[in-house]
A and B are shown apart, each in its own frame.
Chain A
Amino acid sequence: GAVVSQHPSWVICKSGTSVKIECRSLDFQATTMFWYRQFPKQSLMLMATSNEGSKATYEQGVEKDKFLINHASLTLSTLTVTSAHPEDSSFYICSARQFPVASGGLYNEQFFGPGTRLTVL
């Protein structure tokens, strides 16, 4: 159980176009999903926290108008990179937290998707 998928697994796009990445929890409901970005040889950097039915909370320095997040259901969150540029090329990873929340157990745990590699030409 606790499988998270991402689509697409990789994408190449031209500079100036927008790209949408989907994150799905396949066998559980996720009230909260997280979006991370990882540049080569670096650690994961949290971009935003996505809560079902409400606006995402962005980390400091992340442009909310550039990285649009929608969490329309308990199993799906999307990240849209708008007007992508080469510096947006990165590995984007989502994670989902299982619902309902229990104290200290795996039900509080985050499960990660396989990641989406974005290359902007």
Chain B
Amino acid sequence: DAKTTQPPSMDCAEGRAANLPCNHSTISGNEYVYWYRQIHSQGPQYIIHGLKNNETNEMASLIITEDRKSSTLILPHATLRDTAVYYCIVRVAQGAQKLVFGQGTRLTINP
């Protein structure tokens, strides 16, 4: 599975949009981009995933560049409860199935 690079930490003001970048320059054509988050002392929570088109759900939006070498997770109106570590993972949808977690981005939402 392709390696990802994320900033170790970010801050965002409550109510503002939080934009979390992820670089995955070695991504293969059949690999998806997945985002999970982990709130302190809890199990990871699935947020969103995509292949090449932008995706949106009730939690977030995922913007993938045309060359697919990077993506951005957008939390449109961040709340204090969005404070968590956010993990960007790329992997094939089928096959090995396992998720390999990097260090992620520690997002802190400030009041």
Taking beta carbons and an 8 Å cutoff, which residues of A are in contact with B?
4, 6, 32, 34, 36, 43-46, 49, 91, 93, 95, 97, 101, 103-104, 108-115, 117
A117 with B41, Cβ < 8 A, contacts A104-B32, A104-B93, A111-B46 known: yes
Is B12 on the interface with A (CB-CB < 8 A)? no
Chain A interface mostly:
strand
Of A45, A109, A113, the contact of B43 (CB 8 Å cutoff): A113
Residues A108 and B94 in contact, CB atoms below 8 Å apart: yes
Is B45 on the interface with A (CB-CB < 8 A)? yes
Residues A110 and B101 in contact, CB atoms below 8 Å apart: no
Residues A97 and B97 in contact, CB atoms below 8 Å apart: yes
Residues B94 and A44 in contact, CB atoms below 8 Å apart: no
- CB-CB under 8 A from A36, the residues of chain B are 101
Residues A110 and B93 in contact, CB atoms below 8 Å apart: no
Residues A49 and B32 in contact, CB atoms below 8 Å apart: no
19 A-B interface contacts by CB (under 8 A): A36-B101, A43-B103, A46-B98, A46-B101, A49-B98, A93-B43, A95-B43, A95-B99, A97-B97, A101-B94, A103-B94, A104-B32, A108-B97, A109-B49, A110-B99, A111-B46, A112-B43, A112-B45, A115-B41
Which 7 residue pairs spanning A and B have beta carbons closest together?
A112-B43, A44-B101, A104-B93, A43-B101, A112-B44, A115-B43, A93-B43
Of A91, A101, A108, A109, the contact of B41 (CB 8 Å cutoff): A91
